[in-house]
């Protein structure tokens, strides 16, 4: 299954769209340290139990830590198998913050 990728520039444009869910699939403590502003947290291992929290009417963009992390791809494949419209931002939190783009911390 081929999942479409988005760049940080494309994601930045999408953040203002109400029909997009930006989904951080890292463990919750990683999310609390730093995450893309406006993103929500559902760790990969919890995702199968939270599918009913997500809308199939919206585009879901998954992301994780960086290009080395593959959790975002695993999550996207799972979501696609359940009929969700999904894309992946591979650069993750690392690329996003290094580019000076909007991020938040819960700690």
pTM of the model: 0.94
pLDDT at 57: 95
Q: Please check whether residue 59 is in contact with residue 21, taking contact to mean a CB–CB distance below 8 angstroms.
A: yes
Nearest to 104 by CA among 5, 24, 18: 24
Residue for token pair 């730093």: 34
Runs of H (alpha helix) within the chain: 8-14, 28-33, 71-81, 92-98
| Tokens, residue 35 | 């995450």
pLDDT at 18: 77
CATH 3.40.50.720 at 8-102, yes or no: no
What residues does each domain of the chain span? Answer: 8-102
| 31 vs 25: CA distance, rounded Å | 8
| 3-class state of residue 51 by DSSP | helix
Length of the chain: 107
| 106 vs 10: CA distance, rounded Å | 25
Q: What is the pLDDT along the chain (107 residues), one digit of tens a residue?
A: 689 999 999 999 998 877 999 999 999 999 999 999 999 999 999 999 999 999 999 999 999 999 999 999 999 999 999 999 999 999 999 999 999 999 999 87
pLDDT at 17: 78
pLDDT at 106: 82
């Amino acid at each position: 299954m081929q999942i479409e990728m988005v760049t940080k520039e494309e994601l930045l444009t999408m953040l203002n769209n109400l029909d997009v869910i930006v989904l951080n699939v890292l463990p919750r403590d990683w999310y609390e340290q730093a995450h893309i502003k406006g993103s929500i947290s559902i760790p990969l291992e919890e995702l199968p139990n939270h599918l009913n929290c997500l809308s199939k009417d919206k585009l879901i963009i998954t992301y994780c830590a960086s290009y080395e992390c593959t959790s975002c791809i695993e999550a996207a494949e799972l979501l696609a198998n359940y009929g969700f419209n999904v894309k992946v931002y591979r650069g993750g939190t690392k690329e996003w913050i290094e580019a000076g783009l909007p991020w938040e911390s819960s700690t």
